[in-house]
């Protein structure tokens, strides 16, 4: 029986650079290496977007997408799309509500890997293990800050989702989606209180469910 290589702290130091995991895996012939991450997990509106990337060459400046300003994310996104194998999955709010956030996230990671145009030899996922992947895999805590392929996936997912939320803002300007991207902010709460949720909100999320309940109670009293 073949035992999958799982990089240990003694093999990969978290302070040894963004390509340390890739180098350690490549030394053992476990290539190409895919990274998987998502954007929008904590939002109460908009889709969950999952991306998988296999880098074909090093890209300078990769980092966790949340630590990069929008202009840098956009520039890196273009470089990644031009020089990497990429798989993207968009999971609409209704699916998140029906399946649950975590199940949707795990299924999205499998689907994103399946959409890669190159079969991975090893897969790094951000944060939690994903069963049923087509190659050996490892869940890396804060993987988007320590593994280049996961950082690239985080950027692709983030930029893809942000662009979608900006488009939704044009359709539903009263919510301010272009500013907060569907996450819970004081302004978003106020918009929900004033207008109620729209079809792109996640009704299973407590912030949205609370407003739906209050609106229904108000309608019943009137």
pLDDT of residue 8: 52
The answer to whether residues 141 and 182 belong to one domain is no
Decide: 177 and 168 in contact? Cβ < 8 Å.
yes
The answer to whether residues 131 and 39 belong to one domain is yes
Q: Is 31 exposed, middle or buried (0-12, 13-18, 19+ CB in 10 A)?
A: middle
Decide: 153 and 36 in contact? Cβ < 8 Å.
yes
pLDDT digits (tens, 9 = 90+) for 74-104: 999 999 999 999 999 999 999 999 999 999 9
The answer to whether residues 175 and 155 belong to one domain is no
pLDDT digits (tens, 9 = 90+) for 35-71: 999 999 999 999 999 999 999 999 999 999 999 999 9
The answer to whether residues 27 and 128 belong to one domain is yes
How far CA 79 is from CA of 7, 57, 104, in Å, comes to 28, 10, 28
pTM (2 decimals)?
A: 0.90
The answer to whether residues 86 and 131 belong to one domain is yes
The answer to whether residues 90 and 50 belong to one domain is yes
The residue ranges of DSSP E strands in the chain, in sequence order, are: 33-39, 48-55, 84-91, 122-126, 137-140
Domain range for 70 is 20-163
Q: Which value, to the nearest 10 degrees, does the dihedral of the CA atoms of residues 67, 163, 86, 93 take? A: 100
Q: Which two tokens stand for residue 143?
A: 């993987």
The answer to whether residues 125 and 178 belong to one domain is no
Is residue 212 domain-resident?
Answer: yes
The answer to whether residues 146 and 185 belong to one domain is no
Is residue 15 domain-resident?
Answer: no
Which of 123, 147, 163 represents a domain boundary (last residue)? 163
Residue 138 belongs to domain with CATH number: 3.30.420.10
The answer to whether residues 72 and 46 belong to one domain is yes
How far CA 140 is from CA of 15, 136, 156, 217, in Å, comes to 14, 13, 18, 45
């Amino acid at each position: 029986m073949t035992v999958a290589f799982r990089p240990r702290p003694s093999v990969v130091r978290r302070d040894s650079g963004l390509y340390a995991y890739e180098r350690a895996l490549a030394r053992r012939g476990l290539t190409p290496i895919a990274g998987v991450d998502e954007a929008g997990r904590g939002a109460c509106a908009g889709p969950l977007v999952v991306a998988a990337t296999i880098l074909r060459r090093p890209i300078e400046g990769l980092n966790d997408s949340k630590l990069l300003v929008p202009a840098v994310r956009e520039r890196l996104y273009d470089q990644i799309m031009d020089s990497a194998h990429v798989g993207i999955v968009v999971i609409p709010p209704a699916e998140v509500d029906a399946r649950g956030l975590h199940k949707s996230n795990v299924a999205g990671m499998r689907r994103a890997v399946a959409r890669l145009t190159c079969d991975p030899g090893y897969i790094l996922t951000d944060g939690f293990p994903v069963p049923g992947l087509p190659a050996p895999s490892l869940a890396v805590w804060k993987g988007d800050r320590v593994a280049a392929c996961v950082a690239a996936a985080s950027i692709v997912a983030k930029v893809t989702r942000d662009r979608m939320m900006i488009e939704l803002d044009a359709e539903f300007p009263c919510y301010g989606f272009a500013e907060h991207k569907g996450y819970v902010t004081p302004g978003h709460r106020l918009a929900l209180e004033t207008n109620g949720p729209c079809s792109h909100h996640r009704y299973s999320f407590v912030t949205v469910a609370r407003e739906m309940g209050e609106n229904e109670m108000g309608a019943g009293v009137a």
